[in-house]
Amino acid sequence: MIVRSLTRYIEDLIRSRRPRRFKASEDEAAMIRTAITLRAARPGSGEPTDEFVASLHRKLAAELEPPPDRRPAAARRTFLRTAAAAGGAAAAVAAGAGIDHVVSSRTAPGPAPAAGGTLTPSHGTWLTVAYSSDLPDGAVRPFTVGAVTGFIERADGQLRAVSGICTHQGCRLAFAARSARLVCPCHGATFALDGTVLTHRLPVPLEALPRIEVREVGGAVQVYAPLTDL
C-alpha cells in the first residue's frame, strides 16, 4: 500500500521542493533516509547557489556588523563583485567569448537568451570525429576534437552534434544513456541532445548548448570546429 504523506515527501525530495512534515513511522523514516542518500548522490546537487551564498552573506552582515564604523554594504559589494567575476569568467571560458562581454551581460538586467545558436568559429574546418560505421542509428558518441568537446547523435538517419560543456560554469557534461540526456556533474542541470535545457535549479537563466555543424563524407563523420594551431 502506498502511503500518501511518504510518497509526497519523496516526490518533493526528487524535485527539490520543501517536503511537508508528517508523523512518520519507523519504516517511513527508513525509506526517507534512503531517499535522501539517493538524492544527495545526484551530481553537484549539494552545492549552494550563488544567490543563496550572497543573500546569507547580506543577512549575516546585517546581524554581525555594527553600522557606524564598519560599512556592511561595502563588504557586500566586494563580495558580490568577486562572485560575479568568478562566475562570469568561467562562463566566458565555456562560451569561448570575450570576458568583457560575458561579465557585462551578467551585470546587466534582463534574462539571457535561451538559444544556444550554432558554433561558428572564425577559422573553422571539417574535422573527423568518428567513422560512420561506429555511429549506427540511435547511437550517441562523445567526441573531443581540438578545442571542442561535444556529443554526436544519429537519430532517424539524421546526424546532429551539440557542445558537451555546461553553459553555466563550464563543467564537462556526462551522457545518461537511459534517459538520453546530458547531465552536468557540477550543479545537476540537464540538457536534451538537441541542446535545449531540460532541468536546472540555478537562480540565473541557463542558455541552451550550442549546436555544432556535422556532416558525413566518405564513411567519416565530421564536425565544423576551429583550427587549433593558431
Partner 1 sequence: MAARRQSGPWGGQRAGAGGAPVTRLRAVDSESYADWDAVYRDNIGLVHRLMFAKVGNRPDAEDLTTEVFLAALRPLRLPASVGEVRAYLLATARTVLARHWARTLGHQVTSLTEDPEQAPAAPLPEPTAAPERARQILAALPDRYRQILQLRFLEACTVAEAAQVLGISVANAKVLQHRAMRRAADVAAGLE
Contact positions toward partner 1, by CB under 8 A? 2, 7, 10, 12-14, 16-19, 21-24, 26-43, 45-49, 52-53, 56-57, 59-60, 63-64, 75, 79, 176, 178-179, 181, 183, 188, 190, 198-199, 201
Q: How far is the CB of 140 from partner 1 (least distance, A)?
A: 14
Closest listed residue to residue 36, CA positions, set 10, 17, 15: 10
CA 206 to chain centre: 7
In the bound state with partner 1, the residue whose beta carbon lies nearer, of 41 and 230, is 41
Q: How far is the CB of 132 from partner 1 (least distance, A)?
A: 27
149: β partners = 144
- Amino acid of residue 102: V
Q: How far is the CB of 4 from partner 1 (least distance, A)?
A: 11
Question: What gap in Å lies between CA 204 and CA 221, rounded to an integer?
Answer: 35
In the bound state with partner 1, the residue whose beta carbon lies nearer, of 47 and 216, is 47
In the bound state with partner 1, the residue whose beta carbon lies nearer, of 9 and 143, is 9
In the bound state with partner 1, the residue whose beta carbon lies nearer, of 15 and 215, is 15
- Label residue 84 exposed, middle or buried (CB < 10 Å: 0-12, 13-18, 19+): middle
Q: How far is the CB of 186 from partner 1 (least distance, A)?
A: 12
In the bound state with partner 1, the residue whose beta carbon lies nearer, of 104 and 196, is 196
Closest listed residue to residue 191, CA positions, set 200, 202, 203: 200
- Label residue 31 exposed, middle or buried (CB < 10 Å: 0-12, 13-18, 19+): middle
